[in-house]
Amino acid sequence: MTNPKLDITSSPSSDNVADPDSGCLAVQTRRSLLLGALAGTACLAGSRQAVAEDDQPGADERPQKGDILVFTDGDREGAVVRSADLSLGGPPVHAWPKDPRTSVVRSGSRLNEILIVRLDPAELDEQTRSRAADGIVAYSAICAHAGCPVTGWVKSDAGDKVVFKCMCHNSEYDPRESAQVVFGPAPRRLAALPLALNDGALTVAGAFIGKVGAQQQG
C-alpha cells in the first residue's frame, strides 16, 4: 500500500517531499510498546532538533562539494571527523555534512546523515576506491527499503564479511562494493558520497551518487 511518507527521492536540495520522521515511524511500527515509546521519545527529540536546524539556511540542503563532516552524536558531537578518528575495519562513524563557510551543520534533513567507515583499500572494488579517501568510504545512512537509519555493523548473514545492516528488516549493504545489497529486502544500494582528505580532515568531494532514502512506493 502506498505510503507517501516513505517515498523519498534524491532531490538535490530541500526535501519538501520527505518527512523527517519517516524512519522513526517505520521503527515504531515494528517494536514492542516499550521500545516504541522509547523510540518515539527519541524521534520527538530528533524532530525538535530538525526544526531548529531548519531555521538555518542550507541546513536541509544535500551535502555539497567542500563540506566538512562532523560527528552526529556522542562525546565528540559536532567535532570534525578526521581520518585518524576512524579505525581500520570499522566500526562506522555517523556524521553530518557542515558548510565550512557558514558553519551550518546540514542536519535539517535526516536524509543528510552519513555513514563513514575505514577499510583496506585493497578490499574495495574499482568504483568504490575511486570515491574513497585513503580507504575511507561514505554512504547515506538511510536504508533504501523503508527509510530506517542503518545502524548495524555486523557479520553478514550472506557471507563472512562485516557489512552495514539495517535492523528494521535486516537489509545488508557491502561498503566495499558501492554498498550493494547483499541480504534482505532493500531494492537498491545506499547512495555513495565521494570523499577527499584535507590536512587529515574528511571533506565531501561531490554530491551523492544514487538515490537517497527509501524506495519509491507504488
Among 168, 179, 182, 202, binds ligand FES (CB under 6 A): 168
Radius of gyration, CA atoms only, the chain? 16
Closest approach of ligand FES to the CB of residue 139, in Å: 13
CA atoms of 179 and 172, how far apart (whole Å): 9
Q: Is 179 in the site for ligand FES (CB under 6 A)?
A: no
List residues bridging with 82 in a β-sheet: 201
Among 186, 190, 191, 212, binds ligand FES (CB under 6 A): 186
Is residue 22 within 8 A of residue 168, CB to CB? The reply is: no
Among 166, 179, 193, 202, binds ligand FES (CB under 6 A): 166
Which segment (68-76, 98-106, 130-138, 166-174) binds ligand FES by CB under 6 A?
Answer: 166-174
Q: Is 145 in the site for ligand FES (CB under 6 A)?
A: yes
Q: Is 140 in the site for ligand FES (CB under 6 A)?
A: no
Output the nine-digit C-alpha cell for 12.
538535490
Among 105, 137, 143, 205, binds ligand FES (CB under 6 A): 143
Output the nine-digit C-alpha cell for 6.
516513505
Is residue 183 within 8 A of residue 115, CB to CB? The reply is: no
Strands (E), 76-216: 93-98, 114-118, 136-140, 152-155, 162-165, 172-174, 180-183, 195-198, 201-204
Is residue 61 within 8 A of residue 102, CB to CB? The reply is: no
Q: Is 163 in the site for ligand FES (CB under 6 A)?
A: no
Among 82, 129, 161, 169, binds ligand FES (CB under 6 A): 169
Among 112, 171, 178, 215, binds ligand FES (CB under 6 A): 171
Q: Which residues bind ligand FES (CB under 6 A)?
A: 26, 143, 145-148, 166, 168-169, 171, 184-186
